[in-house]
């Protein structure tokens, strides 16, 4: 696939951008110039390893990173923590050679929704990565077969109202028995679902299931 550099700076009113199968190490867009861009979704960009200089649009609310391994490997260079407008983050990656996620101060404190899907090699959720997420309301964990446990000790933020776990057998084994101690660490959240069906699967502009990616539009 041969691509030329694109100049879309005139699209100042663009609110949502989906990119699928980009075959280059960098994007041909200066994202920070898209001042009204609220949602950015990247799918199957195997060679992409960085975001453009200038960073993200200042008003970005939702970010989807699906199967972009080189990009995920450099996630601590993204500067997400400084993105105070970000509410929703959806990530799907094997997490090769990564035992725990998210790293401390990786995600911004404004985040209300976090979805981990198809993270086949992820083993542990990092306690320290959740300490500052005082606004987190929804945590979705889907198809994470190697994930052994949720954040313990300090635990998940008290702001959490919805914890959804599906097709993650080690978590199911650990937390489904309501008579054992692990259940006591999550039972205080208003809505806890383990391997229960979710009724809605929103479809994004690219025609893919935007699995459980729920965006606050207000």
For 60, list phi and psi in degrees, rounded to 5: -65, 130
Report, as an integer, the average pLDDT of 173-201. 82
Report, as an integer, the average pLDDT of 109-115. 97
In this prediction, residue 178 carries a pLDDT of 84
End-to-end CA, the chain: 38
pLDDT, one tens digit per residue, over 78-94 is 999 999 999 999 999 98
- Predicted TM-score of the model (pTM): 0.85
Of 152, 163, 111, give the one whose Cα is nearest residue 134.
Answer: 111
For 170, list phi and psi in degrees, rounded to 5: -70, -35
pLDDT, one tens digit per residue, over 57-74 is 889 999 999 999 999 999
Domain boundaries, the chain: 16-59+68-194
Of 110, 116, 113, give the one whose Cα is nearest residue 132.
Answer: 110
Query: CA 35, 41, 43, 48 torsion: positive or negative?
Result: positive
């Amino acid at each position: 696939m041969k691509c030329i550099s694109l100049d879309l700076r005139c699209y100042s009113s663009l609110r949502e951008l989906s990119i699928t199968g980009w075959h280059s190490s960098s994007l041909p867009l200066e994202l920070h110039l898209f001042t009204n861009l609220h949602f950015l979704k990247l799918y199957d960009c195997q060679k992409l390893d960085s975001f453009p200089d200038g960073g993200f649009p200042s008003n970005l609310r939702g970010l989807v990173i699906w199967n972009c391994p080189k990009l995920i490997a450099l996630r601590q260079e993204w500067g997400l923590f400084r993105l105070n407008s970000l509410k929703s983050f959806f990530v799907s990656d094997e997490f090769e050679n990564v035992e725990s996620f998210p790293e401390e101060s990786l995600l911004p404190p404004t985040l209300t929704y976090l979805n981990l899907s198809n993270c086949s090699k992820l083993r542990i959720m990092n306690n320290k990565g959740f300490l500052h997420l005082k606004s987190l309301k929804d945590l979705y964990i889907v198809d994470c077969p190697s994930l052994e446990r949720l954040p313990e000790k300090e635990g998940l933020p008290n702001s959490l109202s919805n914890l959804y776990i599906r097709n993650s057998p080690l978590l199911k084994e650990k937390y489904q028995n309501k008579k054992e101690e692990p259940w006591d660490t999550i039972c205080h959240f208003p809505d806890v679902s383990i391997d229960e069906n979710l009724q809605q699967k929103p479809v994004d502009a690219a025609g893919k299931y935007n699995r459980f990616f729920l965006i606050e539009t207000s």
